[in-house]
Structure 1
Amino acid sequence: MSAASYDAYVGLHRLTLERQGQAEAFDAIGDRYEEAFPHKEGQLASGAWLAGALPPGSRILDVGCGTGLPTARQLADAGHRVVGVDLSAEMVKLATEQVPGAEFHQGDLADLRDGRLGGPGSYDGIVAFFSLLMLPLAEIPHALRMLHGLLRPEGLLALAMVEADVDDCPIPFLGNTIRVSGYLRDDLRQVVRDAGFEVTGEDSYAYAPASTDVPPEIQLFLHLRRA
Protein backbone atom coordinates (compact mmCIF):
# COMPACT_ATOMS: atom_id res chain seq x y z
CA MET A 1 0.00 0.00 0.00
CA SER A 2 1.39 3.41 -0.97
CA ALA A 3 1.89 6.14 1.62
CA ALA A 4 -0.96 8.17 0.11
CA SER A 5 -3.29 5.15 0.14
CA TYR A 6 -2.33 4.38 3.74
CA ASP A 7 -3.02 7.95 4.84
CA ALA A 8 -6.44 7.85 3.18
CA TYR A 9 -7.14 4.45 4.74
CA VAL A 10 -6.24 5.66 8.24
CA GLY A 11 -8.24 8.85 7.72
CA LEU A 12 -11.40 6.96 6.81
CA HIS A 13 -11.00 4.62 9.78
CA ARG A 14 -10.64 7.66 12.04
CA LEU A 15 -13.87 9.01 10.58
CA THR A 16 -15.63 5.74 11.37
CA LEU A 17 -15.11 6.48 15.06
CA GLU A 18 -15.86 10.19 14.79
CA ARG A 19 -19.10 9.58 12.92
CA GLN A 20 -20.61 7.24 15.48
CA GLY A 21 -22.75 10.16 16.59
CA GLN A 22 -24.04 10.51 13.03
CA ALA A 23 -25.09 6.85 13.03
CA GLU A 24 -26.87 7.26 16.36
CA ALA A 25 -28.74 10.29 15.01
CA PHE A 26 -30.03 8.37 12.00
CA ASP A 27 -30.88 5.37 14.17
CA ALA A 28 -33.13 7.71 16.15
CA ILE A 29 -34.62 9.32 13.03
CA GLY A 30 -35.55 6.01 11.35
CA ASP A 31 -38.51 6.20 8.99
CA ARG A 32 -39.21 9.83 9.97
CA TYR A 33 -36.61 10.63 7.31
CA GLU A 34 -39.10 9.66 4.59
CA GLU A 35 -41.75 11.87 6.21
CA ALA A 36 -39.42 14.87 6.18
CA PHE A 37 -38.33 14.31 2.55
CA PRO A 38 -41.48 13.02 0.80
CA HIS A 39 -40.79 14.40 -2.69
CA LYS A 40 -37.64 13.19 -4.39
CA GLU A 41 -37.96 14.15 -8.03
CA GLY A 42 -34.25 14.79 -8.45
CA GLN A 43 -33.24 11.55 -6.81
CA LEU A 44 -35.73 9.56 -8.88
CA ALA A 45 -34.57 11.20 -12.11
CA SER A 46 -30.92 10.52 -11.34
CA GLY A 47 -31.69 6.94 -10.34
CA ALA A 48 -33.61 6.46 -13.59
CA TRP A 49 -30.59 7.71 -15.55
CA LEU A 50 -28.32 5.16 -13.89
CA ALA A 51 -30.86 2.33 -14.18
CA GLY A 52 -31.32 2.98 -17.90
CA ALA A 53 -27.66 3.61 -18.73
CA LEU A 54 -26.52 0.20 -17.46
CA PRO A 55 -27.39 -3.24 -18.88
CA PRO A 56 -29.97 -5.25 -16.88
CA GLY A 57 -28.36 -7.27 -14.13
CA SER A 58 -25.61 -4.73 -13.50
CA ARG A 59 -24.10 -4.68 -10.01
CA ILE A 60 -24.76 -1.33 -8.32
CA LEU A 61 -23.52 -0.08 -4.94
CA ASP A 62 -25.82 2.27 -3.02
CA VAL A 63 -23.61 4.24 -0.61
CA GLY A 64 -25.67 5.62 2.26
CA CYS A 65 -28.74 3.65 1.21
CA GLY A 66 -30.91 4.94 4.06
CA THR A 67 -34.33 3.27 4.17
CA GLY A 68 -33.87 1.82 0.68
CA LEU A 69 -36.50 4.21 -0.70
CA PRO A 70 -36.67 5.25 -3.36
CA THR A 71 -33.29 4.42 -4.88
CA ALA A 72 -32.48 0.82 -3.94
CA ARG A 73 -36.04 -0.23 -4.78
CA GLN A 74 -35.96 1.72 -8.06
CA LEU A 75 -32.74 0.06 -9.17
CA ALA A 76 -33.77 -3.42 -8.02
CA ASP A 77 -37.12 -3.08 -9.80
CA ALA A 78 -35.19 -2.20 -12.97
CA GLY A 79 -33.50 -5.58 -12.79
CA HIS A 80 -30.16 -4.62 -11.26
CA ARG A 81 -28.25 -6.36 -8.46
CA VAL A 82 -28.16 -3.78 -5.67
CA VAL A 83 -25.79 -3.79 -2.70
CA GLY A 84 -26.63 -1.12 -0.13
CA VAL A 85 -24.48 0.08 2.75
CA ASP A 86 -25.34 2.53 5.52
CA LEU A 87 -23.75 3.60 8.78
CA SER A 88 -27.07 3.34 10.63
CA ALA A 89 -28.25 -0.08 11.80
CA GLU A 90 -31.84 1.15 11.90
CA MET A 91 -31.68 2.36 8.30
CA VAL A 92 -30.26 -0.99 7.19
CA LYS A 93 -33.10 -2.78 9.01
CA LEU A 94 -35.72 -0.63 7.28
CA ALA A 95 -34.06 -1.06 3.87
CA THR A 96 -33.94 -4.86 4.26
CA GLU A 97 -37.65 -4.93 5.08
CA GLN A 98 -38.67 -2.56 2.30
CA VAL A 99 -36.45 -3.82 -0.53
CA PRO A 100 -36.16 -7.60 -0.13
CA GLY A 101 -34.72 -7.89 -3.63
CA ALA A 102 -31.50 -6.10 -2.64
CA GLU A 103 -28.61 -6.88 -0.28
CA PHE A 104 -27.86 -4.51 2.60
CA HIS A 105 -24.96 -4.15 5.04
CA GLN A 106 -24.23 -1.88 7.98
CA GLY A 107 -20.88 -0.23 7.42
CA ASP A 108 -18.84 2.86 6.77
CA LEU A 109 -16.76 4.07 3.86
CA ALA A 110 -13.73 2.52 5.52
CA ASP A 111 -15.42 -0.87 5.22
CA LEU A 112 -15.61 -0.36 1.46
CA ARG A 113 -11.89 0.33 1.34
CA ASP A 114 -11.28 -2.91 3.24
CA GLY A 115 -12.77 -4.82 0.32
CA ARG A 116 -15.53 -6.39 2.42
CA LEU A 117 -18.13 -5.61 -0.23
CA GLY A 118 -15.91 -6.07 -3.28
CA GLY A 119 -12.52 -5.16 -4.62
CA PRO A 120 -11.37 -2.91 -7.46
CA GLY A 121 -13.72 -2.89 -10.43
CA SER A 122 -16.46 -4.81 -8.56
CA TYR A 123 -19.33 -2.52 -9.57
CA ASP A 124 -20.86 -1.36 -12.83
CA GLY A 125 -22.49 1.60 -11.12
CA ILE A 126 -22.57 3.45 -7.81
CA VAL A 127 -25.10 5.83 -6.29
CA ALA A 128 -24.08 8.21 -3.51
CA PHE A 129 -27.10 10.38 -2.80
CA PHE A 130 -26.40 12.86 0.03
CA SER A 131 -23.99 10.48 1.77
CA LEU A 132 -20.62 12.09 1.08
CA LEU A 133 -21.86 15.37 2.56
CA MET A 134 -21.60 13.64 5.94
CA LEU A 135 -17.79 13.83 5.64
CA PRO A 136 -15.44 16.74 6.32
CA LEU A 137 -14.34 18.39 3.08
CA ALA A 138 -10.79 17.07 3.42
CA GLU A 139 -12.09 13.49 3.26
CA ILE A 140 -14.50 13.78 0.33
CA PRO A 141 -11.77 13.59 -2.38
CA HIS A 142 -10.41 10.41 -0.72
CA ALA A 143 -13.90 8.91 -0.72
CA LEU A 144 -14.45 9.79 -4.38
CA ARG A 145 -11.15 8.18 -5.38
CA MET A 146 -12.12 5.06 -3.44
CA LEU A 147 -15.46 4.88 -5.28
CA HIS A 148 -13.59 5.43 -8.55
CA GLY A 149 -11.51 2.35 -7.76
CA LEU A 150 -14.58 0.21 -7.00
CA LEU A 151 -16.03 0.94 -10.44
CA ARG A 152 -15.15 -1.04 -13.55
CA PRO A 153 -13.59 0.97 -16.40
CA GLU A 154 -16.26 3.31 -17.83
CA GLY A 155 -18.44 2.58 -14.79
CA LEU A 156 -21.02 5.18 -13.74
CA LEU A 157 -21.54 7.18 -10.55
CA ALA A 158 -24.71 9.10 -9.69
CA LEU A 159 -23.74 11.67 -7.07
CA ALA A 160 -25.96 14.06 -5.13
CA MET A 161 -24.82 16.84 -2.81
CA VAL A 162 -26.41 19.91 -1.29
CA GLU A 163 -24.91 23.12 -2.67
CA ALA A 164 -23.32 24.98 0.23
CA ASP A 165 -19.95 26.41 1.17
CA VAL A 166 -19.62 24.62 4.54
CA ASP A 167 -17.18 22.20 6.15
CA ASP A 168 -18.22 19.74 8.87
CA CYS A 169 -20.90 22.15 10.07
CA PRO A 170 -23.35 21.08 12.82
CA ILE A 171 -27.01 21.52 11.87
CA PRO A 172 -30.32 20.58 13.56
CA PHE A 173 -31.93 17.68 11.75
CA LEU A 174 -35.23 16.09 12.79
CA GLY A 175 -34.62 16.62 16.47
CA ASN A 176 -30.97 15.60 16.31
CA THR A 177 -27.69 17.24 15.36
CA ILE A 178 -25.64 16.06 12.41
CA ARG A 179 -22.52 17.47 10.76
CA VAL A 180 -22.48 18.24 7.04
CA SER A 181 -20.18 19.62 4.36
CA GLY A 182 -20.85 21.04 0.92
CA TYR A 183 -19.36 22.67 -2.17
CA LEU A 184 -20.45 25.39 -4.51
CA ARG A 185 -21.18 23.74 -7.85
CA ASP A 186 -18.05 24.85 -9.70
CA ASP A 187 -15.92 23.53 -6.86
CA LEU A 188 -17.82 20.24 -6.83
CA ARG A 189 -17.25 19.76 -10.56
CA GLN A 190 -13.53 20.26 -10.03
CA VAL A 191 -13.36 17.83 -7.11
CA VAL A 192 -15.00 15.02 -9.07
CA ARG A 193 -12.77 15.64 -12.09
CA ASP A 194 -9.70 15.55 -9.87
CA ALA A 195 -10.92 12.17 -8.55
CA GLY A 196 -10.90 10.75 -12.08
CA PHE A 197 -14.49 11.23 -13.23
CA GLU A 198 -15.94 12.74 -16.37
CA VAL A 199 -19.10 14.81 -15.83
CA THR A 200 -21.67 13.62 -18.37
CA GLY A 201 -24.74 15.34 -16.95
CA GLU A 202 -25.92 17.67 -14.21
CA ASP A 203 -29.23 18.80 -12.68
CA SER A 204 -30.17 21.01 -9.75
CA TYR A 205 -33.36 21.27 -7.74
CA ALA A 206 -34.63 23.72 -5.14
CA TYR A 207 -35.95 21.56 -2.32
CA ALA A 208 -38.02 22.54 0.71
CA PRO A 209 -38.25 19.64 3.18
CA ALA A 210 -41.57 18.99 4.88
CA SER A 211 -39.94 19.30 8.30
CA THR A 212 -39.75 22.83 9.69
CA ASP A 213 -36.37 22.25 11.38
CA VAL A 214 -34.60 21.35 8.12
CA PRO A 215 -33.83 24.42 5.97
CA PRO A 216 -34.57 24.66 2.23
CA GLU A 217 -31.67 23.58 0.04
CA ILE A 218 -30.33 23.40 -3.48
CA GLN A 219 -29.69 19.80 -4.46
CA LEU A 220 -27.02 19.07 -7.08
CA PHE A 221 -27.08 15.82 -9.07
CA LEU A 222 -24.03 14.89 -11.14
CA HIS A 223 -23.90 12.02 -13.62
CA LEU A 224 -20.33 10.78 -13.76
CA ARG A 225 -18.31 8.26 -15.71
CA ARG A 226 -15.05 6.73 -14.58
CA ALA A 227 -12.48 8.29 -16.90
Structure 2
Amino acid sequence: MVDKEAVLDGYDTVARVYTEERSRSHKERKALSSLLNFLSPESRVLDAGCGGGKPFLRQLSSQFQQTIGLDFSTKQLEIAASNAPEATLLCGDMTRIPLTDGCADAILASHSLIHIPSDTHQTVIDEFARVLRPGGRLLVSEGLQKWEGTNINWLDAGAEMQWDIAGAETTRAQLETAGFHIQTEYGAPNTLPEDEDEEAGWIFFETTLTQS
Protein backbone atom coordinates (compact mmCIF):
# COMPACT_ATOMS: atom_id res chain seq x y z
CA MET A 1 0.00 0.00 0.00
CA VAL A 2 1.13 3.55 -0.72
CA ASP A 3 2.84 5.40 2.13
CA LYS A 4 1.47 8.94 1.91
CA GLU A 5 4.51 10.43 3.64
CA ALA A 6 6.83 8.72 1.14
CA VAL A 7 4.84 10.19 -1.75
CA LEU A 8 4.95 13.63 -0.12
CA ASP A 9 8.70 13.42 0.45
CA GLY A 10 9.16 12.23 -3.13
CA TYR A 11 7.22 15.11 -4.66
CA ASP A 12 8.98 17.62 -2.42
CA THR A 13 12.34 16.25 -3.58
CA VAL A 14 11.59 16.16 -7.32
CA ALA A 15 9.44 19.31 -7.38
CA ARG A 16 11.41 21.29 -9.94
CA VAL A 17 12.46 18.31 -12.05
CA TYR A 18 8.89 17.00 -12.25
CA THR A 19 7.45 20.40 -13.16
CA GLU A 20 9.93 20.89 -15.99
CA GLU A 21 9.67 17.34 -17.37
CA ARG A 22 5.88 17.02 -17.27
CA SER A 23 4.23 17.58 -20.65
CA ARG A 24 0.86 16.86 -22.23
CA SER A 25 0.06 14.26 -24.83
CA HIS A 26 -2.32 14.95 -27.72
CA LYS A 27 -5.02 12.90 -25.97
CA GLU A 28 -4.59 14.87 -22.74
CA ARG A 29 -4.97 18.12 -24.64
CA LYS A 30 -8.09 16.78 -26.34
CA ALA A 31 -9.59 15.73 -23.01
CA LEU A 32 -8.84 19.10 -21.43
CA SER A 33 -10.22 21.01 -24.44
CA SER A 34 -13.50 19.15 -24.12
CA LEU A 35 -13.72 20.11 -20.45
CA LEU A 36 -12.87 23.76 -21.17
CA ASN A 37 -15.56 24.01 -23.85
CA PHE A 38 -18.14 23.28 -21.16
CA LEU A 39 -17.04 26.21 -19.01
CA SER A 40 -17.42 29.99 -19.07
CA PRO A 41 -14.77 32.56 -18.02
CA GLU A 42 -16.59 32.98 -14.68
CA SER A 43 -16.44 29.26 -13.85
CA ARG A 44 -14.71 28.06 -10.68
CA VAL A 45 -12.27 25.27 -11.52
CA LEU A 46 -10.28 23.06 -9.14
CA ASP A 47 -7.02 21.39 -10.19
CA ALA A 48 -6.76 18.59 -7.62
CA GLY A 49 -3.13 17.55 -7.37
CA CYS A 50 -1.91 20.59 -9.26
CA GLY A 51 1.79 20.01 -8.54
CA GLY A 52 4.00 22.85 -9.74
CA GLY A 53 1.25 24.34 -11.88
CA LYS A 54 2.40 22.94 -15.22
CA PRO A 55 0.98 22.03 -17.58
CA PHE A 56 -2.63 22.43 -16.45
CA LEU A 57 -3.05 24.98 -13.66
CA ARG A 58 -1.23 27.69 -15.56
CA GLN A 59 -3.56 27.28 -18.55
CA LEU A 60 -6.68 27.12 -16.40
CA SER A 61 -5.78 30.26 -14.44
CA SER A 62 -5.20 32.19 -17.66
CA GLN A 63 -8.71 31.35 -18.89
CA PHE A 64 -10.90 31.37 -15.78
CA GLN A 65 -11.41 33.99 -13.11
CA GLN A 66 -11.66 31.50 -10.26
CA THR A 67 -9.02 28.79 -10.46
CA ILE A 68 -7.93 26.80 -7.42
CA GLY A 69 -4.87 24.56 -7.19
CA LEU A 70 -4.82 21.89 -4.47
CA ASP A 71 -1.72 19.89 -3.55
CA PHE A 72 -0.26 18.41 -0.37
CA SER A 73 3.35 19.26 -1.29
CA THR A 74 4.37 22.72 -0.14
CA LYS A 75 7.41 22.58 -2.41
CA GLN A 76 5.19 21.96 -5.43
CA LEU A 77 2.88 24.80 -4.39
CA GLU A 78 5.82 27.21 -4.11
CA ILE A 79 6.59 26.50 -7.76
CA ALA A 80 2.90 26.71 -8.71
CA ALA A 81 2.75 30.20 -7.21
CA SER A 82 5.30 31.28 -9.81
CA ASN A 83 3.82 29.34 -12.74
CA ALA A 84 0.19 30.26 -12.05
CA PRO A 85 0.20 33.49 -10.01
CA GLU A 86 -3.48 34.17 -10.70
CA ALA A 87 -4.59 30.90 -9.08
CA THR A 88 -5.66 30.43 -5.47
CA LEU A 89 -3.46 27.73 -3.93
CA LEU A 90 -4.46 25.37 -1.14
CA CYS A 91 -2.31 22.88 0.73
CA GLY A 92 -4.47 19.91 1.56
CA ASP A 93 -5.47 16.28 1.19
CA MET A 94 -7.88 15.09 -1.51
CA THR A 95 -9.63 12.85 1.04
CA ARG A 96 -10.67 16.06 2.88
CA ILE A 97 -10.80 18.85 0.31
CA PRO A 98 -10.89 22.22 2.14
CA LEU A 99 -13.76 23.65 0.08
CA THR A 100 -17.49 24.01 0.67
CA ASP A 101 -20.16 21.76 -0.83
CA GLY A 102 -21.16 22.44 -4.43
CA CYS A 103 -18.74 25.32 -4.92
CA ALA A 104 -16.91 24.15 -8.07
CA ASP A 105 -18.08 24.01 -11.67
CA ALA A 106 -15.33 21.62 -12.73
CA ILE A 107 -12.51 19.53 -11.27
CA LEU A 108 -9.39 18.28 -12.99
CA ALA A 109 -7.48 15.43 -11.31
CA SER A 110 -4.61 14.45 -13.59
CA HIS A 111 -2.17 11.79 -12.35
CA SER A 112 -3.09 12.48 -8.72
CA LEU A 113 -5.53 9.73 -7.71
CA ILE A 114 -2.85 7.14 -8.49
CA HIS A 115 -0.62 8.29 -5.61
CA ILE A 116 -3.05 7.65 -2.77
CA PRO A 117 -3.92 4.26 -1.23
CA SER A 118 -6.46 2.47 -3.42
CA ASP A 119 -8.71 1.82 -0.43
CA THR A 120 -9.29 5.59 -0.22
CA HIS A 121 -9.96 6.19 -3.94
CA GLN A 122 -13.73 6.01 -3.39
CA THR A 123 -13.41 8.54 -0.57
CA VAL A 124 -11.60 10.96 -2.90
CA ILE A 125 -14.13 10.52 -5.70
CA ASP A 126 -16.93 11.10 -3.18
CA GLU A 127 -15.15 14.32 -2.16
CA PHE A 128 -15.07 15.41 -5.79
CA ALA A 129 -18.83 14.85 -5.92
CA ARG A 130 -19.33 16.85 -2.72
CA VAL A 131 -17.34 19.85 -3.95
CA LEU A 132 -18.90 19.92 -7.44
CA ARG A 133 -22.25 21.52 -8.14
CA PRO A 134 -24.90 19.24 -9.68
CA GLY A 135 -24.19 19.10 -13.40
CA GLY A 136 -20.53 19.96 -12.82
CA ARG A 137 -17.75 18.20 -14.71
CA LEU A 138 -14.90 16.01 -13.49
CA LEU A 139 -11.92 15.02 -15.64
CA VAL A 140 -9.88 12.37 -13.83
CA SER A 141 -7.07 10.08 -14.96
CA GLU A 142 -6.31 6.53 -13.90
CA GLY A 143 -4.12 3.67 -15.07
CA LEU A 144 -5.71 1.18 -17.43
CA GLN A 145 -4.65 -1.81 -15.34
CA LYS A 146 -4.48 -2.35 -11.59
CA TRP A 147 -0.88 -1.96 -10.40
CA GLU A 148 1.02 -1.11 -7.23
CA GLY A 149 4.71 -0.33 -7.16
CA THR A 150 7.68 1.80 -6.18
CA ASN A 151 10.52 3.52 -8.04
CA ILE A 152 13.43 4.24 -5.67
CA ASN A 153 15.08 6.73 -8.04
CA TRP A 154 12.18 8.37 -9.85
CA LEU A 155 13.16 10.72 -12.69
CA ASP A 156 16.81 10.03 -11.74
CA ALA A 157 16.33 12.63 -9.01
CA GLY A 158 17.21 10.43 -6.04
CA ALA A 159 13.65 10.30 -4.73
CA GLU A 160 11.35 7.37 -4.06
CA MET A 161 7.87 7.44 -5.60
CA GLN A 162 4.96 5.08 -5.02
CA TRP A 163 1.79 4.32 -6.99
CA ASP A 164 -1.44 2.50 -6.16
CA ILE A 165 -3.38 2.25 -9.41
CA ALA A 166 -6.91 0.88 -9.11
CA GLY A 167 -7.39 0.31 -12.84
CA ALA A 168 -10.03 1.55 -15.26
CA GLU A 169 -12.74 -0.99 -14.42
CA THR A 170 -12.67 -0.24 -10.69
CA THR A 171 -12.57 3.51 -11.27
CA ARG A 172 -15.58 3.39 -13.59
CA ALA A 173 -17.57 1.68 -10.85
CA GLN A 174 -16.39 4.16 -8.22
CA LEU A 175 -17.37 7.13 -10.37
CA GLU A 176 -20.84 5.70 -10.94
CA THR A 177 -21.24 4.99 -7.21
CA ALA A 178 -20.48 8.66 -6.46
CA GLY A 179 -23.13 9.84 -8.92
CA PHE A 180 -21.01 10.58 -11.98
CA HIS A 181 -22.11 9.84 -15.53
CA ILE A 182 -19.16 9.03 -17.79
CA GLN A 183 -19.41 11.10 -20.97
CA THR A 184 -16.19 10.11 -22.73
CA GLU A 185 -13.02 8.10 -22.13
CA TYR A 186 -9.64 9.06 -23.58
CA GLY A 187 -6.62 6.76 -23.69
CA ALA A 188 -3.34 8.63 -23.18
CA PRO A 189 0.35 7.66 -23.27
CA ASN A 190 2.86 8.31 -20.52
CA THR A 191 4.44 11.73 -20.91
CA LEU A 192 7.45 11.66 -18.61
CA PRO A 193 10.80 11.02 -20.34
CA GLU A 194 11.53 7.70 -18.69
CA ASP A 195 8.19 6.33 -19.96
CA GLU A 196 8.20 7.78 -23.46
CA ASP A 197 8.56 4.42 -25.23
CA GLU A 198 5.60 2.81 -23.50
CA GLU A 199 2.21 2.35 -25.13
CA ALA A 200 -0.85 4.20 -23.88
CA GLY A 201 -1.10 3.39 -20.19
CA TRP A 202 -3.58 5.92 -18.88
CA ILE A 203 -7.23 6.72 -19.28
CA PHE A 204 -9.02 10.03 -18.74
CA PHE A 205 -12.68 9.90 -17.71
CA GLU A 206 -14.73 12.98 -18.61
CA THR A 207 -17.79 12.87 -16.38
CA THR A 208 -20.84 14.86 -15.28
CA LEU A 209 -22.18 14.86 -11.73
CA THR A 210 -25.79 13.72 -11.93
CA GLN A 211 -26.60 13.89 -8.22
CA SER A 212 -25.34 15.87 -5.25
TM-score (norm 2): 0.87
Equivalence map 1:23-34=2 (5 Å): 23-34=8-19
Equivalent residue number for residue 224 of structure 1: 207
Aligned residue in 2 for 1:189: 172
Mapped to 2, the partners of 1:106 and 1:51 lie a distance apart of 24
What is the root-mean-square deviation of aligned Cα atoms in Å?
Answer: 2.1
Mapped to 1, the partners of 2:168 and 2:12 lie a distance apart of 30
User: How far, CA to CA, are the matches of 1:106 and 1:41 in structure 2?
Assistant: 30
Residue 193 of structure 2 corresponds to residue 210 of structure 1: yes
2:134 equivalent in structure 1: 153
* Distance (Å, rounded) in 2 between the aligned partners of 1:208 and 1:122: 31
Aligned pair count?
205
Q: Matched residues in 1 for 2:171 and 2:95: separation?
A: 22
Q: 1:143 to 1:111 in 2, by over 3 A?
A: closer
Pick closer, same or farther for the CA change 1:80–1:40 going to 2, 3 Å: farther
Counterpart amino acid of residue 171 in structure 1:
N
| Contact kept in structure 2, 1:130 and 1:160, CA below 8 Å | yes
Tell me which of 102, 115, 118 is aligned to 1:134.
115
Name 2:43's counterpart in structure 1.
Answer: 58
Partner of 1:165: 146
Which whole-Å CA distance do the structure 1 matches of 2:184 and 2:65 have between them?
21
Higher normalized contact order (CA 8 Å, seq sep 6+, divided by chain length): 2
Alpha carbons 2:23, 2:55 under 8 Å: kept = no
Q: Cα deviation per residue 1:150-209 (whole Å; 9 max; x = unaligned)?
A: 100111101012223124x32342232222122332332222112211000110023253
Query: What is the aligned partner in structure 1 of residue 60 from structure 2?
Result: 75
TM-score if structure 1 supplies the norm length? 0.82
Aligned-partner residue type, residue 84 of structure 1: G
Name structure 2 gaps, 5 residues minimum: none
1:135 to 1:67, Cα distance in 2 relative to 1, 3 A: same
8 Å CA contact 1:62–1:126 kept in 2: the answer is yes
The verdict on how the C-alpha distance between 1:54 and 1:39 changes in structure 2, with shifts beyond 3 A counting, is: closer
In the alignment, which residue of structure 2 is the partner of 1:119?
100
> For the residues of structure 2 that align with 1:158 and 1:110, how far apart are their CA atoms?
17
Name the aligned partner's letter for residue 224 of structure 1: T
Deviations 1:102-122 (A, max 9, x none): 11122212441xxx3x21101
Query: Partners of 2:80 and 2:106 in 1: how far apart?
Result: 19
| Aligned counterpart, 2:76 | 91
* Greater helix proportion: 1
Q: Which residue of 2 aligns with 1:176?
A: 159
Percent same amino acid at aligned positions? 22
Residue 46 of structure 1: which of 31, 37, 41 is its match? 31
Alignment gaps of 5+ in structure 1: 1-14
Q: Shift in Å at residue 34 of structure 1? A: 3.4
- 2:142–2:167: 8 Å Cα contact kept in structure 1? no
